[in-house]
Structure 1
Amino acid sequence: MKGLIFLTALLLLTPLCQAADYKTILLVSVDALHPDAVSKENSPNIMYLAENGAYSPFATSSNPPKTLISHTVMLTGLQPLENGKTDNAWQVGEPRVSKPTLLSAAKGRGYETCLIYSKQKLGYLKNSSTDTEIFAKDDAVEKTAEVLDTSKKQFIFLHISGLDTEGPVSGWMSEEYVDEFRFIDEQLGALFKKALKSPSVLIIVTSDHAGHDKIHGSDHPEDFKRPLAVFSSLKKITHIPDSALKIDGLKKYIEEEF
């Protein structure tokens, strides 16, 4: 609760202005997060950002709704047949993403870029525009807090695992699943607190896909669901356009924001 109060104070003290020239951009993807889990009780830190920005529980995944396929669509803005990633696997030493990504766009605008992920196959998303790459299976949020430097112009993509394990084992929206999400939100609260010390920050929190029962990656409607929260310290964002709710539209939306 103390962390949330401090986070609230930081947000209230953050000046608002019109120019969207962000010092810090943080894109967070909580793997396998179902929108039904997002609430004030389960995720007060994410929800506070959402309430001071914009939020939708109606974002959608790629087809198929699988981790690497979905994240590749998210970062390239291209569907699988367009971006070339139609399977859900990657090993170190294999070719990486060939299409420009959000990191490419950020690098082109003078940002230091960081790719931090907790599933090794997301190493596929590293390209020549990636300044820092960190594979952190169990402590991705902590590693991100270490790398985050609010004195620099920095773009960070953070992928967080955990729910993708609890979903298939215990079930989506099970007690174990929700407990894991609460822990993730608590960790994110500390990261957000540091990010909000930046002179100007854009924070986006989303997911790659959801699931149902103990299943994901299928053609079931629940598997395609994603939440999307957007917070800006430079302007009041009150609406997320429908195009940005589609996973292949998020890249363009973020590029337009910064």
Structure 2
Amino acid sequence: MKSGIGAFGRVVSPRALCALLLIAAGPACMASAGAAAEKEIGAVVQREYRDAVARPDGAAQLRAIRYRDKVFALDTVATGATGATSLQFLDATRIDVGPGAEVRLDDFVYDPSSTEGAGEMSFAVGAFRYVGGHMTTEENVRLKTPTATMVIRGTELVIFVWPDGRTEVNVISGAVEISACGGAGGSQMAMTGMQVTVSPDCATQRAPVRSLPPGFAALNLPVEDEAGIEEGDDGPGDRGGDGRDRGSTGRGGSGKGGAGGAGGGTQNGGASHI
């Protein structure tokens, strides 16, 4: 860019000229300029790399995401058939992503001085653990699947999303408001120890939280037989060892949650690296 001529004939550098134009144009122009840049919203906290990639919005190229790599608003994160990753966001909210999964990080904002913020994430397929962070306005966080929208209330969740859109939400702690099919199927509040399933036809079903093994082993998508009964489903019971381990990092490091981990079952393979 060429230098411009400012008032009184002084030469203005390109950087200063841009700044003057932004100030003159006001906040709307500044917002447009900022929107063009990638917005960092979190980072990978799993130390061991296990076949996880991210794709920026509108891009064709994938990038491997490893320990401490940043993730950005509108990234789509996917894992391979035996992959996994853990993401930590600006307020220490954490999402563990199981094998064969895909999630779009629509947005996440947080002001540490006020501890207020908001966020939205869309789970396309796979198994996930959500653990809330320091945000005091967590009700402004929306978690979406093809059939359900969740409003968070200080929550730890394990979420399963099948390829047909069927969604199962297990409330490990806290509470969550679940709306089926954008509200067309009604909404309900689920508390600690409860499970809500939303079927592809928007019907909902309540049950006790399913038995979950510890760590990433819990994040294998349960497989259904032809009768629609999940293999290895022993019904409600002890959800396993580290379901309340909110503070640890790299829970996948032990390798428990791979394709043959303690969680059992075959992965859906739905993400196939977006």
TM-score by length of 2: 0.31
Higher normalized contact order (CA 8 Å, seq sep 6+, divided by chain length) = 1
Give 1 or 2: higher strand fraction.
2
TM-score by length of 1: 0.32
